[in-house]
Structure formats: structure tokens, C-alpha cells
Amino acid sequence: MDRSSLLQLIQEQLDPENTGFIGADTFAGLVHRHELPLDPAKLDMLVALAQSNERGQVCYQELVDLISSKRSSSFKRAIANGQRALPQDGLLDEPGLGVYKRFVRYVAYEILPREVDRHWYFYRHRSCPPPVFMASVTLAQIIVFLCYGARLNKWVLQTYHPEYMKSPLVYHPGHRARAWRFLTYMFMHVGLEQLGFNALLQLMIGVPLEMVHGLLRISLLYLAGVLAGSLTVSITDMRAPVVGGSGGVYALCSAHLANVVMNWAGMRCPYKLLRMVLALVCMSSEVGRAVWLRFSPPLPASGPQPSFMAHLAGAVVGVSMGLTILRSYEERLRDQCGWWVVLLAYGTFLLFAIFWNIFAYDLLGAHIPPPP
């Protein structure tokens, strides 16, 4: 029985007078009597919907949304009011799961703070399309690094090699007119240690985030962090080049960590405090390493070394834009008021940075090192 036939049957048998409400117990009996195809999570949510109503009824439109896998704002408010009816450990006790479904369950508990959302995600998740964005970006970064490493026979501190800095992908203040460099620098890295750190975080944090929130949201957050990183460097450290995807990585990490802190009581990921401390220590040490390379390089170089400001700009983007994007894993961004405020602020920053790069260097008489 398809969804349209199911909905027609429900309306004919349970709401013949078109009152707009359906008794939850009566509907549950219909489901079991006719063996209708409805996910267990949706039945749990049906109970929550009924408990949110004083007469134990469900609004017909909310029921349509439930069966059609749509959740409006009113639907989600009703679910939140009746959330106490949902089994709190249902997914953890789910028996007989395969390896992939266990991974999906792990992702649900790693990313989502509410049991109702975990159930919804677990039963709705499909393996197609896979989380291709973060995997593709990481693979491209590794390939570019290997190509330059093999060509230059240099695997650490690659930015000290003049030929490496001649790459058309590196952002250099002398090449600001080549606008693609403000994004493509994310494929270049200082050395093996920076690539390893970024690739590890992209796969450990970025892939689960993409599985839950989708390609569009995570790619938007990642690229916004990358772009903000290079533009911030062009404003605050006008002589320095930029390499590495740290702006995007820090946007993802700071958004996820901020989401965990904001929903601390609801997060069920194991050892969350220890993991957060380790993440902060690793991120801080990476920033410290970038500061050291910028101001106290271990080897003589022909020009300034890459700036660390991209890390900080990515973190700011993650806390501001990321919290809005990750607040509701399925609500459309255009329906969130906070999203428009964040988008306006980010757009204002972009306009300011564009005008700065066009006019400020000449007005301030900045001494830019010659591009390699």
C-alpha cells in the first residue's frame, strides 16, 4: 500500500466527518490490524503527538506530515511537547543491526542532541547519496600534496620551496586579482603534519556532519570558513600568503563543539568531556604551531610564511554560522530567522573585504613581497 492509499484509508475510516483530528489509539490499532508500512520511529512520534494534545488526538495534517516524512514547525513543537513519551534508549537497544546501521546509530548519537531526532534520522537515513563532499575534498588535498611532494622531493615545510609557492592554487597578496586563489589555497598544505591533521578532522567530524545535515549545508559551512580565512588574512596580515584547509576545518570543528556545549545534557556521545578537551588541545596546538612558523620560522625563507589568521576566522564562522546551520538538522535554512541575520553579517563582511582588497593596499602603501 502506497502513501496516498494509506492516507485515503485513514481519512475514510478514522475521520469521516472531516474534523481534522484523529484518535491516536484508533490509528495505532488500524496500523497493526492492516499491517501498514510505518517505521517504528514514526509510531513512537505518533504517541508523542497524541500526548501533546489534551484529548489524545492527532491533527490530520500532522499525521500527513509524519507519513510523508515532513516536519513543519508546528509538528516539531508538538513532538517537543510530547517528547517524554519516546523511549530514551530505543536505538541503543536495537538488536540485530548490521555494521553500516550500527555506524548510522553511532552518527546519530554523535551529532544529534535529542532522542526524537535520533530516531527520526536513524529510520529515515539512506546510504544514497553518500557523504561525498568531505571525502572528495580530502582526497583532492591528498592527491595535490603527493604530486607536489613527489615533484619537489619535499614532504615537510613545503612552503620554503620557491617552486611550491609558485603554484596557481596558493593565495598570495601579490595575486589578489586572481580571485580563485581565495578558495583554492585549501588544497595546498605546509607539510605532511598539517595535511594529516586536517584530513583526520575532516573525516572524523566532517563526514558524520555531512551524513546528518547533508552535502549542501556542510559544503556551505566549510567553504564559508575557507573564504573567510583568506579574506581575513588579506585584512589583518596583508603581507602573508595562505595555504591549507584549516579555515574550513576549524569552521566544522568549532560548529560541532559549540553545538555539543549548547546541548550538553542531551548529547549521548561517550566520553564527551574528554573528547572535547582533546579536540581543543589539538586545535590550540595547531594554531600555536602556525603562529610559530609565521613569526619564528625554523629555516630562512624568501618571504613571509603563511598566516595563522585563517584558523581563527574559520572558528568564528563555525561558532556563528555553524550553530545556525546545525541547530535543526532538517529544518530549511530559509525558515530560520537567525539564518538571515548570520547571512547578512557574512555578506557585509564579504563586501568589506572585497573593497579592502581593491583599495586599501594602495591607500595604506602596503609593502607586499613580490610574488614568487
Q: Averaging pLDDT over each range in 48-52, 114-118, 154-158, which range is the top one?
A: 154-158
CA separation for the pair 230, 82 (Å, rounded): 46
Average pLDDT of span 172-187: 95
The architecture that CATH gives domain 3-82 is Orthogonal Bundle (1.10)
* DSSP SS3 for 68: coil
User: Of the residues 52, 234, 246, 320, which is catalytic?
Assistant: 246
Long-range CB pairs of 119-128 (<8 Å, 24+ gap) are 119/41, 119/44, 119/45, 119/86, 119/90, 119/91, 120/41, 120/45, 120/71, 120/330, 121/212, 121/329, 122/41, 122/91, 123/39, 123/40, 123/41, 123/42, 124/39, 124/41, 124/69, 125/211, 127/100
Which residues make up the CATH 1.10.238 domain(s) of the chain?
3-82
Top-level class of domain 132-364: mainly alpha
CB within 8 A of 105, min separation 6: which ones?
91, 92, 94, 97, 122
Half-sphere exposure of 266 (CA within 13 A, CB side): 14
Say which range, 87-91, 140-144, 301-305, has the weakest mean pLDDT: 87-91
Say which range, 113-117, 250-254, 284-288, 357-361, has the weakest mean pLDDT: 113-117
Average pLDDT of span 239-258: 95
311 is catalytic: yes
**pLDDT tens digits for range 29-48:** 666 665 555 666 666 666 66
Q: Is pLDDT above 60 for 81?
A: no
320 is catalytic: no
User: Of the residues 172, 189, 256, 311, which is catalytic?
Assistant: 311
The pTM is what? Answer: 0.82
Which residues make up the CATH 1.20.1540.10 domain(s) of the chain?
132-364
Cα 196 to its chain centre, rounded Å, is: 20
pLDDT of residue 288: 92
Q: Which amino acid is at 310?
A: A
